[in-house]
Amino acid sequence: MRTPTLRIIERPELNAYASGLHEGRYSVTVTRGLMGALDRDEMEAVLAHELTHVINKDVRTMVIASIFAGIISVMAELVFRGLFYSRGGRGGNNKNAGPLILIGLAIAVIGFVLAAVIRMMLSRTREYVADAGAAELTKNPDAMISALRKVSGQSKLEAPDELRGMFLDNQEKGAGFAGLFATHPPIEKRIDALVRFAGGRDLPPVEPRTAPSTSVPPTY
């Protein structure tokens, strides 16, 4: 495969994503904060994670899914507007105006929810697969686990909803309704999957060593 273009976002947050529709147009984007926070093995694991999205072509799937989700949202809004503005002549002579508006509102809500669920379900599934792909490509699941630990809680990056669904991690949106509307699985579940199925070890973070004090007490 051709090497995707590498792009850098000059932001301190820790995140990354892959994008593109076909060979020669794929790119992998990382933040400057991610590059500074991860060591070589951890960065290699994250890049392998994003490359797995490219290899599996689920980057294209997410783009297409976002397009269809957008179409569903637009159609739902058009139906609602059509029913709202066709409620009858002036003065409220149409007795069916109220029920028609409620039907239009229900269709719009269902459409928006369905569009959101399509994007989120696809995104959550692809993250587990990409984590597994990173472990397979690098033969180092521990590095992927360590990278996820560092990214956790540091990944919030302002971007459109469609783009956040493609991020390495996106936890700022609430996981209401038992996580139904979360675009990504929790970091803990992703790490648990790497431990159970990839043989990874969830090691505690290494505390930085402190050099013994060599300072001389001041004399007065």
Report the distance separating Cα 214 and Cα 220, nearest Å: 19
Query: The tokens of 51 are what?
Result: 């490359």
H or E element, residue 182: none
In terms of C-beta distances under 8 Å and separation of at least 24 residues, what long-range contacts does 35-41 make, across chains too? 35/8, 37/150, 37/154, 38/14, 38/147, 38/150, 41/138, 41/140, 41/143, 41/146
H or E element, residue 134: helix 97-138
Report the distance separating Cα 120 and Cα 130, nearest Å: 15
Residue 188 appears among annotated catalytic residues:
no
- The beta strands (E) that lie in the chain are given as 5-9, 16-19, 27-31
Active-site entry in 13, 42, 44, 50: 50
Which residues have CB under 8 Å from 171's CB, separation 6+?
Answer: 152, 153, 155, 156, 182, 184, 186, 187
Which active-site residues does the annotation give? 50
